[in-house]
Amino acid sequence: MTRVFDNDLDAGFGTRAIHAGQRPDPLAGAIMTPVYFTSTYVQDALGQHKGYEYARGKNPTREALERNVAALEGGRHGFAFASGVGATDAIMKLLAAGDHVVCGENVYGGTFRLFDRILRSFGLAFSFVDTRDPQKIADAVTPATRVIWVETPTNPLMRLTDLASASTIARKAGAWLVVDNTFASPFFQQPLSFGADLVMHSTTKYLNGHSDMIGGLVVTSDDALAERLQFILNAGGAVPGPMDCFLALRGTKTLHLRMPRHDENGRKVAAWLAKRWGDERVIYPGLASHPQHALAKRQMKGFGGMISVEMGSREAAGAMLNRVRVFSLAESLGGVESLISHPASMTHGSVPAERKAAMGLTDGIVRLSCGVEDGDDLVADLEQAFAGL
């Protein structure tokens, strides 16, 4: 009997979500991947081991997660890290002093902080550009460009990058296209299929989906890059513990069940907000009024649960945030519970004010992560919050 183990890319998404990378435990047949709480592995004799030597390099629970997410992204290799930022840091260690990176201007605040405040001092150069326009990416490329880093949709302005165009530009430049796919998740968007070389995730968000761990993941189909990433993972050491890997792996089993509900709630809430507050103040790729709605439909299979709203001022944003009862005021996103946040002071607090102003990240913007509660309750919650404004 053939079973869906390891990287069986032919099975459907839901079947891969549940089975890929996993097999019944050989000792007892446990259907759930054991949490291998171990730092080392006993060797049979000098030079004879089972492929596992020390748990920084390899852990079977981690491997199951890596293979699972790689299969969901349609990739051959996955590497798990202790956080999304740790995954980003590892990818950048593929570079050397003197290399140049073209990066989206509206990437996650922690990505910008790592690039600008730490990696610059190691001799990497960065150009931050509006990647909505492929020409701006092409114009920023120099002979030293090795990476084009994009996030699509972006956090929190929900701006899209045309992945097929970005990949063509990267090929021509001899650079790798890296896509932070945290917001869409592989259920709605698979960057490797558009020619991306590396896909990065904060597994903390939709992949885990239950707000109970921090983790990161990198997927590639390039064997040479994979070999270098495994080396960096072991040499750099930012590995996740087995319990966190187990939790993320439990999360991915229901990714295909959760994402349609996030999407349904996202559409419902966005439609209500657009009616109540005006199209132009609601940023959601699923709205026909979103300037890149056509690209979103072409490149994504759904729009998800992330919405930003321009409340007009920090005071109005604060008043709304403080009134909600079902949404919780917190950083992060992608969990089953709905969250609400103020990006300018929270997730993007580390981005300098003039940069925020240049990209249009105002003090009035509120970001919603619609969870998988009943959509009507989310709308009712916002209704009562807006009523008091």
Ligand X SMILES: *Cc1c(COP(=O)(O)O)cnc(C)c1O
Of the ranges 78-86, 122-130, 276-284, 372-380, which one interacts with ligand X (CB under 6 A)?
A: 78-86
SS3 letters across 287-328: CCCCCCHHHHHHHCCCCCCEEEEECCCHHHHHHHHHHCCCCE
133 belongs to the catalytic site:
no
* Residue 380 backbone dihedrals phi, psi, to 5 degrees: -60, -35
Among 13-21, 82-90, 123-131, 266-274, which window interacts with ligand X (CB under 6 A)?
82-90
CA distance 197 to 189: 14
- Contact residue for ligand X among 145, 182, 190, 341 (CB under 6 A): 182
Size of the site for ligand X (CB under 6 A): 16
Interacting residues with ligand X between 147 and 176 (CB under 6 A): 151, 155
- Residues 56, 76, 261, 323: which is the catalytic one? 56
Is 180 a known active-site residue? yes
Please pick, from the candidates 78, 153, 191, 216, the single residue that binds ligand X as defined by CB under 6 A. 216
CA–CA separation, 198 and 191 (whole Å): 8
Q: Does 115 bind ligand X (CB under 6 A)?
A: no
Q: Positive or negative CA dihedral for 321, 327, 14, 34?
A: positive
Distance in angstroms (rounded) separating the CA atoms of residues 99 and 122: 10
Residue 58 annotated to the active site: no
b/e code 89-104 from CB counts within 10 Å (16+ = b): bbbbbbbeeebbbbbb
Rounded to a whole number of angstroms, the minimum distance from the CB of residue 155 to ligand X is: 5
Q: Is 134 exposed, middle or buried (0-12, 13-18, 19+ CB in 10 A)?
A: middle
Q: 67, 89, 108, 356: which one is catalytic?
A: 108
Which of 75, 78, 84, 153 forms a contact with ligand X (CB under 6 A)? 84
Query: Which residue in the set 183, 272, 277, 303 belongs to the binding site for ligand X (CB under 6 A)?
Result: 183
Closest C-alpha among 184, 154, 150, 188 to residue 167? 150
377 is catalytic: no
Catalytic residues: 56, 108, 180, 205
Point out which residues bind ligand X (CB under 6 A): 83-85, 108, 110-111, 151, 155, 180, 182-183, 202, 204-205, 214, 216
